[in-house]
Amino acid sequence: MDFREHIERLDKMGKLVRIKSLVSKDTELMPLVRLQFRGLPEEERKAFFFGNVTDAKGKRYAIPVVVEALAASKEIFAIGIRATPETIREKLVNAQLHPIPPELVNRGVCQEEVHVGGSLKEHGGLEEFPVPISTPGFDKAPYTSFSHLITKDPDTGKVNIGNYRSQMKSPTLMGVMVHPTQHIGIHWAKCRKRGKPLQAALVIGTDPAISFAANSKIPYEAEEYAVAGGVVGEPIKVVKCKTVDIEVPDSAEIVVEGLITTEYFEPEAPFGENTGYMGYEMMNPFYEITAITHRKNPIFGGIISQFPPSESTKMRQISYESSYYAFLRYACNISGILDVAFHETGGGSRFCVIRMRKTSRSQPWQALNAAVSFDAAIGKIFIVVDEDIDPRDPDAVHWALATRMQPDRDLRIREGRTVMLDYSAIPPGIVGEGEGKLYPEPTGASALVIDATLKWDYPPVCLPEKKYMEKAIEIWKAEGLPPLKLKAPWYGYSLGFWTKENEETARWAVEGDYVRCGEKDKGRRRKVEECPRR
């Protein structure tokens, strides 16, 4: 499946909006899609297709823009990897366990048109494409955002694919953020040592399985193409680039080939981050374009990766949830782990709720200690909840915090954490300069870990029993009342502290025999002075 087939599928499944208005890519396109993240529930969010695009100078583009086709919602993400929301986790874990290496082919539609040398400038370079401004009013340029940068380790030839936003600086020059701890940073440092630029291909518009792999935290040794192959169940077909020694997906919409300098830095950014704040300017290398190839009538793709929730937080959320679940459940062998939820409001990486059926009192703490240990930068707040709490519903999590947790007993602070984009640890003027930005003196950044599980048996949840709520739903429907979206819990259930006698008296009550209960109470009547002091 290529990108345009995916878009057709979304369209057929009612998950694509076609915008008819003439829309400016500089000031209108991204704000329009933003609205759905600030104003619609997740299940109503769709991918947006813009066929009628202009820019601030009034130029008209023949090439359409598609935004949010990868992960406007969990459902759209699932469609992209040929799964359902329920089978995502299984599919992704399986793909990492059973990768399928890519297959090199001779020709690819991604090279139906080739612009190199004089032809590159003639076709406008990057300006051939309607690259949108993601956060108009704050960004200093259009950035590619659905922007998979492919590089190789110069020692081993191992490929890395990552999604790195790239700042348009001229029709043939882009700024690119190369973080030293990311895999591309390792490639870059090795090339710098050899005194050579880093060859790269920037790919826009691919099979969503490749995008998933590009956005995942997979080990340095693993290859994203093979993980993507594992997702789709067959090898990803790739072709050689025209001007660099890199293979790209044969059906990619657009490929931008070039060289990343290892000699110079320039300011790059500001650009919005998943924290919800503008990422600040940093010194970074840049990318000199050597060729652009694309399909006939290419589709330009973009994603929203700034204020959460967004497409990028949705992808990060799903990816981290799979990784942490696999780590806690299998690597740490914590049998009680049922689910891991990273809330998008924390950028998909900072607010984590772990759902457990604990088999011992220490298991929640094992899970909390393990979760904190998995990555020094991921997660600021970790909360363990019981099986009956929906870990994705902030109200349910608050209910657990308010009623199942004592702060002095059930909460700890873990220090020695690394900062990733977190302005609360170090002021933004200092972030980006020197080592201190990663580990605030003297004890690093910190995380909060909370065991919000029941510590002992509780009386039942005080909602009517399930059979009565089910009957009420029937009456509700018969009365033509508005559609319900029921949240858990929506019926009462026992939490262990409930006797046979409690069950019996409750049954008398619903049978209309409340007086029997009153008589039973009377039988236990005592003089006040004989009762324990309250």
Considering beta carbons, is residue 94 or 502 the nearer one to its own copies?
502
**Region 362-401 residues binding its own copies, contact defined as CB under 8 A:** 380-381, 394-396, 398-399, 401
Torsion from C-alpha of 219, 222, 225, 229, nearest 10 degrees: -100
* DSSP state string for 210-227: HHHHHHS---TTS-HHHH
Considering beta carbons, is residue 104 or 283 the nearer one to its own copies?
283
Considering beta carbons, is residue 196 or 520 the nearer one to its own copies?
520
Q: Pick from 12, 21, 219, 500: which binds its own copies (CB under 8 A)?
A: 21
Least CB distance to its own copies at residue 487 (A): 6
Give the per-residue SS3 of 375-441: CCCCCCEEEEEECCCCCCCHHHHHHHHHHHCCHHHHEEEEEEECCCCCCCCCCCCCCCCCHHHCCCC
Stretch that binds its own copies, among 89-97, 144-152, 357-365, 501-509 (CB under 8 A): 501-509
Phi–psi pair at 247, nearest 5 degrees: -100, 140
Separation CA 396–CA 456 (nearest Å): 19
Q: Is 156 in the site for its own copies (CB under 8 A)?
A: no
- Nearest Cα neighbor of 502 from 456, 460, 448 is 460
Site string for its own copies, 288-317 (x = CB under 8 A): ------------------xxx---------
Considering beta carbons, is residue 8 or 504 the nearer one to its own copies?
504
Least CB distance to its own copies at residue 262 (A): 7
**Region 84-123 residues binding its own copies, contact defined as CB under 8 A:** none
Radius of gyration for the chain, computed over Cα atoms and rounded to the nearest angstrom: 27
Q: Is 277 in the site for its own copies (CB under 8 A)?
A: yes
Strand partners, 270: none
Give residue 69's identity as a one-letter amino acid code. A
**Region 45-64 residues binding its own copies, contact defined as CB under 8 A:** 55-57
Helix H or strand E encompassing 3: helix 3-12
Give yes or no for a cis peptide into 483 (omega within 30° of 0): no
**Region 206-265 residues binding its own copies, contact defined as CB under 8 A:** 262-265
Least CB distance to its own copies at residue 159 (A): 24
- Nearest Cα neighbor of 63 from 220, 195, 253, 275 is 253
Considering beta carbons, is residue 106 or 424 the nearer one to its own copies?
424
**Region 159-178 residues binding its own copies, contact defined as CB under 8 A:** 167-170, 173, 175
- Per the CB < 8 A criterion, the answer to whether 284 and 178 are in contact is yes
Stretch that binds its own copies, among 90-98, 129-137, 146-154, 329-337 (CB under 8 A): 129-137
Q: Pick from 282, 299, 361, 372: which binds its own copies (CB under 8 A)?
A: 282
**Region 413-442 residues binding its own copies, contact defined as CB under 8 A:** 413, 415, 422-425, 427-429, 432-435, 437
**Region 435-494 residues binding its own copies, contact defined as CB under 8 A:** 435, 437, 443, 445-448, 455-465, 467-469, 471-473, 475-476, 478-479, 481-482, 484-487, 489-490, 492
DSSP 8-state assignment for residue 332: S
Torsion from C-alpha of 196, 202, 207, 211, nearest 10 degrees: 80
Considering beta carbons, is residue 270 or 364 the nearer one to its own copies?
270
Q: Is 13 in the site for its own copies (CB under 8 A)?
A: no
